[in-house]
Amino acid sequence: MNNTYASNLGAHHWTEMSDASTPSITHPHTAVSAAIHRSDGATRNKILRLLPPAELAALVERSELVEVKSKQILFQPEQRLEYAHFPEDCVISLVTVLEDGDQVEAMTIGNDGFSGIPIFHEIESSKHKGCGQITGTALRLAAKDFHDLARELAGLRRLLHRYSQFVFETAAQSAACNRLHVIEQRCARWLLMSQERVGRDSFDLTQEFLAEMLGVRRPGVTVAMGILEKAGLIAHGRGNITVMNRPGLEKASCECYRTIRARQAKLIA
């Protein structure tokens, strides 16, 4: 019943909200198998992995596996949120959009978290835009199901509170980072975090998109990426990037990468 509710809502709203291409939506039960029966036998999402088995089963029962594409709009500012997403291997950006159309990424959400914090806090919409950053899959729940599960499941609720705190701390750290650290360091941090979240060394990324996410002009990103590439830390082709030397990239990043990672380990546990 819940699945039918979610699917019906899903089919309708995806067509409205996404680009021309419609993401594939598998039957919930098939989707669940695909999502959680990977080689390691578990979902990749860190919050879901921490749930007691009965809670995970209850959540998975009401979810469906969807593909989230790069640049796909999941929700617009102040538009009613229809879904929560738990990324498996996609990465989602929360973006702050200014009156003149300029935009900067406020938060990156990968398999360490979920999108839909306003729903959890019983707020209908967000000031942010939500869009796909790196194409991949996510477990998606209709807003009502997600809201009800967060009330019913104590383990889930605890983790959602902890992740909410992590998002606040990350946004605060990013505010300092954007103001005080140089583009090269910020590029390195962003690439490290994206690599971790997507779970592989190569992923789709254009310099234009990275400039938009970092809130800087594209020539600045081109110079910074050139420095990282010359040092053998990354390689980039048309529309994609490969992390070649992760320890080197960590050294090239500002302290914010280590700070955020340490808080992630403490809070998402």
Nearer to Zn ion, 92 or 260 (CB): 260
Which three-class secondary structure state does DSSP give residue 26? coil
Residue burial 249-260, b: 16+ Cβ < 10 Å; e: rest: beebbbebbebb
Q: Are 183 and 221 in contact (CB under 8 A)?
A: yes
CB of 253 to Zn ion, least distance (A): 7
CB of 97 to Zn ion, least distance (A): 22
When asked if residue 177 is in the footprint of Zn ion (CB under 5 A), the reply is yes
Nearer to Zn ion, 123 or 175 (CB): 175
CB of 214 to Zn ion, least distance (A): 11
In degrees rounded to 5, what are phi and psi of residue 80?
A: -55, 130
Find the binding residues for Zn ion in span 138-167 (CB under 5 A).
none
Which of the ranges 74-82, 149-157, 203-211, 254-262 carries the binding residues for Zn ion, by CB under 5 A? Answer: 254-262
In degrees rounded to 5, what are phi and psi of residue 262?
A: -65, -40
When asked if residue 256 is in the footprint of Zn ion (CB under 5 A), the reply is yes
Nearer to Zn ion, 107 or 149 (CB): 107
When asked if residue 254 is in the footprint of Zn ion (CB under 5 A), the reply is yes
Phi/psi region, residue 89 (left: phi>0; alpha: psi -120 to 50; beta: rest), is alpha
Alpha-carbon torsion (101, 164, 131, 224), positive or negative: positive
H or E element in which residue 14 lies:
helix 2-17
Alpha-carbon torsion (43, 48, 54, 57), positive or negative: negative
When asked if residue 260 is in the footprint of Zn ion (CB under 5 A), the reply is no
Nearer to Zn ion, 137 or 174 (CB): 174
CB of 35 to Zn ion, least distance (A): 33
Which of the ranges 67-75, 105-113, 116-124, 178-186 carries the binding residues for Zn ion, by CB under 5 A? Answer: 178-186
**Residue type, position 122, single letter:** E
When asked if residue 181 is in the footprint of Zn ion (CB under 5 A), the reply is yes
When asked if residue 187 is in the footprint of Zn ion (CB under 5 A), the reply is no
C-alpha 243/C-alpha 258 separation (Å) is 17
Nearer to Zn ion, 9 or 104 (CB): 104
Residues of the shown chain interacting with Zn ion in the complex, contacts defined by CB under 5 A? 177, 181, 254, 256
